[in-house]
Amino acid sequence: MDFIDSKYIGILGVRLEQFRKKGKALWNFRCPLCGDSAKDKLKTRGYIFENKGDALYKCHNCGVATGLIQLIEHVAPSLKREYVLEKFGTRKRGKKINLGAGPQEDFFKTNETPTFSSDPLKYITCLELMDINHPARLYIHERKIPLRQVSRLYYTETFKSWTNSIVKNKFPNVKKDEGRLVIPFFDKSGKMIAFQGRSLDEKNKLRYITIKITEDECKIFGLEQIDESKLVYVVEGPIDSLFLTNAIAMAGSDLSNSCNLNKDTELVIVMDNENRNREIVKKIEGFIKKGYSVCIWDEKIQQKDINDMVLSGMSAEDVQTSIRSNTFTGLQATVALNNWKRI
């Protein structure tokens, strides 16, 4: 962190609630992203701090971790250009420059693969902090993903290199690296256990890449967000889960004991609406035999998944209401499934 970082942190401070310097290279304030505590207006859980010479931002309420440049872009967009020019304008072309957690590919290129020792998400960009005209932001806007969920999504221009910094040599060849939307998976304690990279190009043959960080963890999205004392909806894909209240996504895994869900948690399995897909039908049959409640979609709904239903004009609330109205268990579930297969 240098004089220019400190200067712009001070300028930014007048726009931040409860802003104060706590120590050398440490500032504290109310998080401008999540708004911090709604109950206690004096709570200040946002911090700017120094790490290996970089100015980084972390909120201990919403969990966002990013670089100073992205925080400036979110709080005071007009300052971003001034900051970039003043900090990097005099640097020699080609010299390695670290923009903290932000997408340094926007300004400078580097062929180096970083090695992350702690939170790997701070080295990529939270979508909430990205320009609304960035392709990743435009993508989630086109998919009508709720704004309240944007802070759970990230983006990197160098997905393969970033992955290799977490799982060594996962991609032996990174010459043709690519940008992807990153969807992190956490366990109940908030530790990242897996992530999914989603291509923004719908024509990409490999649209999803899901990677487990540790093999002994269950690959379930949303475990850290749910309230297990209430009904939990279990869908196939992470994107679909973002439209429902209290939902998780299996992402190709099963609901084994290793998922650490409480035994008393009431679950509703919501598979995609593909009654001609033998694999899906077989999975639903398996869930019914295990005693789970399942959603058997209304025949009036033609779209194959929740996101497509929302894109067709249904609200997320309408989708959830339809799921509740078409949830069955036991013999009723078997009868409903048999009728659904014949549609």
29 and 119 housed in the same domain: no
Among the candidates 217, 248, 273, a domain finishes at 217
199 and 239 housed in the same domain: no
224 in a structural domain: no
Q: Which pLDDT score is estimated for 102?
A: 38
245 and 333 housed in the same domain: yes
Lowest mean pLDDT among 63-67, 111-115, 138-142: 111-115
133 and 205 housed in the same domain: yes
Which pair of tokens denotes residue 126? Answer: 């939270």
How high is the mean pLDDT of the chain?
Answer: 85
Domain of 161, in residue numbers: 114-217
Could you read off the pLDDT of 206-240 as tens digits, one per residue?
899 999 987 777 889 999 999 999 999 999 999 99
> If you count DSSP H runs as helices and E runs as strands, how many of each does the chain have, helices first?
10, 15
208 and 237 housed in the same domain: no
187 and 134 housed in the same domain: yes
Q: What is the domain-level CATH number for residue 189?
A: 3.90.980.10
Radius of gyration over every alpha carbon of the chain, rounded to an integer in angstroms: 22
Among the candidates 73, 102, 131, a domain finishes at 102
Mean per-residue pLDDT, 12-29: 89
Lowest mean pLDDT among 141-155, 248-262, 307-321: 248-262
Task: Provide the CB-side half-sphere exposure for 321 (13 A, CA).
Answer: 6
Could you read off the pLDDT of 58-105 as tens digits, one per residue?
988 888 888 898 899 888 887 888 888 888 764 433 443 343 433 333
248 and 315 housed in the same domain: yes
Among the listed residues 70, 193, 180, 181, the one whose alpha carbon sits nearest the alpha carbon of residue 120: 193
Among the candidates 217, 251, 267, a domain finishes at 217
244 and 325 housed in the same domain: yes
Q: How distant, in Å, are the alpha carbons of 178, 237, 238, 342 from that of 247?
A: 30, 11, 9, 29
Number of folded domains that form the chain: 3
- Provide the whole-model pTM: 0.67
223 in a structural domain: no
Task: Provide the CB-side half-sphere exposure for 46 (13 A, CA).
Answer: 24
315 and 336 housed in the same domain: yes
Q: What is the domain-level CATH number for residue 317?
A: 3.40.1360
Phi-psi region of 248 (alpha: psi -120 to 50; beta: other; left: phi over 0): beta
